[in-house]
Amino acid sequence: MNNTDNQGFNTQLVHAGDYEDMYGSVIVPIYQASTFKFKNAQHGADCFAGRADGFIYTRIGNPTIDALENKLAQLEHGYRGIAFASGMAAVSTVYMALLGQGKHIVSTDAVYGPSRGILERDFSRFGVEYSFVNTAHLEEIEKAIRPQTVLLYIETPTNPTIEITDIAAVAQIAHKHNILVCVDNTFCSPYTQKPLDLGADIVLHSITKFINGHADIVGGAVIAKDPDVYKKLRQTMIYLGGNMDPHQAYLTSRGVKTLALRMDKSQESAMKIAQFLEQHPKIEWVKYPGLPSHPQHELAKKQMSGFGTMMSFEVKGGIQAGATLMDSVKLCTLAVSLGGVETLIQHPASMTHAGLSAEARHEAGITDGLVRFSVGIEECEDIITDLKQALDKV
Ligand code: LCS
């Protein structure tokens, strides 16, 4: 397997984790196989017992998936990674592996809707307890911690409120109480934020977003820093069965190679678009980590190496004005998801976060008029021209 630990990020994106197959294929091929032949009975028993290397069954492991997992682990500076069928399979596996009857989790209140909903609706039925707090305010975390707290789960920046949590400070608080920290790094990707380097124990991704980047697969990943935590997560994944498929892994391995090139282009545009929106008379407010008006702009500069491509804003006139904008754009696409090559616009209160109660949404800062915007790699001038003509119609 290639180890690119001392090489640059673009080199890692292209080569990390890859290995040669028997024909010298330049890319890792799709091993579309559910099961793998043992050399003999002893080899089969040794593979199951972990005494021999070798693939057994694709839910447990597969060469195409393994290569992607190794690449992601190197990119995130972790011990090992696990790829999943979706980001939510990754989230639910982390919860299933680490929580239990009477255990307690402290989580960011404005996490992606289903990451919160599955605790409230499903894990609660098994006696799991939770507190949702604004993790950008460290004193709220301290107050929420109980003797039963085993996991601190943060999303930064948050979807869609673009709030930023200080990962290093949270890790310090958690480790004082022997609590593990999991960071959903979906909004940044390992290119602009490395949670494990900042003290987190587990990093999680919806790779549907920036990592794959081409709106053609749904997938997830977790990367652990510690071998024991990794083993626990892997064992739960194997029984729960949320594994990635080899074809998904192949497409993700292709998509991730251009992560930095895509993000560089999109981030440059995002900054200009945020500035354009901020000075537009029909815009009430814009939240983008790169703007000095963002309340945590200094923290963003400290813990992120780029400000990302995600922003939220509100059009004057609230929800109705926002709907007119979304119905009037021509180049920007009205769709959920984010982090791809195409610019997407959506309305969280009625779409991605509709599953939360109105009260939970408001507490988390998801106003009814909030519009979420994911900047793609189209030419910046074209995106701004489109927004201008759509805002004229509001
Ligand atoms: N974490 C974050 C921060 C997300 O934004 C999402 C999906 C997930 C986890 C779950 O990943 P999935 O299972 O969808 O791969 N976010 C979505 C969104 O904002 N629009 O559509 C999906």
Tens of pLDDT, residues 216-250: 999 999 999 999 999 999 999 999 999 999 999 99
Give yes or no for residue 184 CB within 6 A of ligand 1. yes
Among 50-54, 169-173, 341-345, the range scoring the smallest mean pLDDT is 50-54
Taking residues 291-299, report their average pLDDT. 98
Active site residue 184: yes
Classified as helix, coil or strand, 125 is: helix
Residue nearest ligand 1's atom 20 by CA: 337
Indicate if the pLDDT at residue 1 is higher than 80.
Answer: no
Give yes or no for residue 86 CB within 6 A of ligand 1. yes
Tokens read off for 246: 């080899």
pLDDT class of 266 with cuts at 50, 70, 90: very high
Q: Which of 59, 231, 232, 257 is catalytic?
A: 59
Q: Which atom of ligand 1 is nearest to the CA of 155?
A: 3
Q: Which atom of ligand 1 is nearest to the CA of 158?
A: 3
Give yes or no for residue 269 CB within 6 A of ligand 1. no
Tell me the residue type at 283.
I
Q: Which of 109, 184, 201, 245 is catalytic?
A: 184
- The packing angle between helices 63-75 and 246-256, to 10°, is 40
Which is nearest to 51 in space by CA: 63, 70, 38, 64? 38
Which H or E run includes 247? helix 246-256
- Can you tell me the distance from the alpha carbon of 71 to that of 84, in angstroms, rounded to the nearest whole number? 14
Which is nearest to 211 in space by CA: 40, 366, 31, 81? 81
Q: Which atom of ligand 1 is nearest to the CA of 208?
A: 15
Residue 46 C-alpha to ligand 1 middle, in angstroms?
38
Yes or no: say if 251 and 212 are a contact pair by the CB < 8 Å rule.
yes
Residue 154 C-alpha to ligand 1 middle, in angstroms?
14
Active site residue 116: no
- Can you tell me the distance from the alpha carbon of 330 to that of 339, in angstroms, rounded to the nearest whole number? 19
- Can you tell me the distance from the alpha carbon of 106 to that of 95, in angstroms, rounded to the nearest whole number? 12
Yes or no: say if 209 and 376 are a contact pair by the CB < 8 Å rule.
no
Mutate to test the pocket of ligand 1, among 164, 185, 209 (most ligand atoms within 8 A of CB): 209
Residue nearest ligand 1's atom 15 by CA: 87
| pLDDT of the residue at 20 | 83
Half-sphere CA count of 325, side-chain side, radius 13 A: 26
Tokens read off for 394: 């509001």
Residue 88 C-alpha to ligand 1 middle, in angstroms?
7
Tokens read off for 245: 């498929």
DSSP string computed for 290-316:
TSTTSTTHHHHHHH-SS--SEEEEEET
Taking residues 38-44, report their average pLDDT. 96
Which is nearest to 27 in space by CA: 62, 64, 60, 53? 64
Residues 161-215: pLDDT tens digits? 999 999 999 999 999 999 999 999 999 999 999 999 999 999 999 999 999 999 9
Give every strand in the sheet of 202-206, ordered side by side.
80-84, 220-224, 202-206, 180-184, 149-155, 104-108, 129-133
Residue 203 C-alpha to ligand 1 middle, in angstroms?
15
Between strands 310-315 and 370-374, the pairing is antiparallel
Indicate if the pLDDT at residue 365 is higher than 90.
Answer: no
- Can you tell me the distance from the alpha carbon of 257 to that of 76, in angstroms, rounded to the nearest whole number? 14
Yes or no: say if 265 and 259 are a contact pair by the CB < 8 Å rule.
no
Residue nearest ligand 1's atom 5 by CA: 112
Sequence-distant (≥ 6) Cβ neighbours of residue 11 within 8 angstroms: 4
Q: Which of 31, 95, 112, 288 is catalytic?
A: 112
Residue 318 or 316, more confident? 316
| pLDDT of the residue at 318 | 84
Active site residue 209: yes
Residue 39 C-alpha to ligand 1 middle, in angstroms?
41
Domains and CATH numbers, the chain: 9-256 (3.40.640.10), 259-391 (3.90.1150.10)
Tokens read off for 334: 């009205």
Q: Which of 209, 225, 361, 372 is catalytic?
A: 209
Beta-bridge partner residues of 180: 151
Sequence-distant (≥ 6) Cβ neighbours of residue 233 within 8 angstroms: 82, 93, 94, 97, 202, 222, 224
| pLDDT of the residue at 368 | 86
- Can you tell me the distance from the alpha carbon of 33 to that of 60, in angstroms, rounded to the nearest whole number? 12
pLDDT class of 301 with cuts at 50, 70, 90: very high
Tokens 């984790």 sit on residue: 17
- Can you tell me the distance from the alpha carbon of 18 to that of 64, in angstroms, rounded to the nearest whole number? 9
| pLDDT of the residue at 300 | 98
Sequence-distant (≥ 6) Cβ neighbours of residue 39 within 8 angstroms: none
Indicate if the pLDDT at residue 3 is higher than 90.
Answer: no
CA 89 to chain centre: 12
CA distances for 309 relative to 76, 97, 155, angstroms? 19, 32, 16
Give yes or no for residue 338 CB within 6 A of ligand 1. yes
Mutate to test the pocket of ligand 1, among 93, 94, 112 (most ligand atoms within 8 A of CB): 112
Give yes or no for residue 252 CB within 6 A of ligand 1. no
Indicate if the pLDDT at residue 109 is higher than 80.
Answer: yes
| pLDDT of the residue at 11 | 97
Give yes or no for residue 69 CB within 6 A of ligand 1. no
CA distances for 207 relative to 75, 112, 130, 134, 306, angstroms? 13, 14, 26, 25, 18
Residue nearest ligand 1's atom 2 by CA: 112
- The three-point CA angle 150-151-156 to 5° equals 165
Active site residue 361: no
Q: What percent of the chain has pLDDT over 90?
A: 89
Residues 90-104: pLDDT tens digits? 999 999 999 999 999
| pLDDT of the residue at 358 | 85
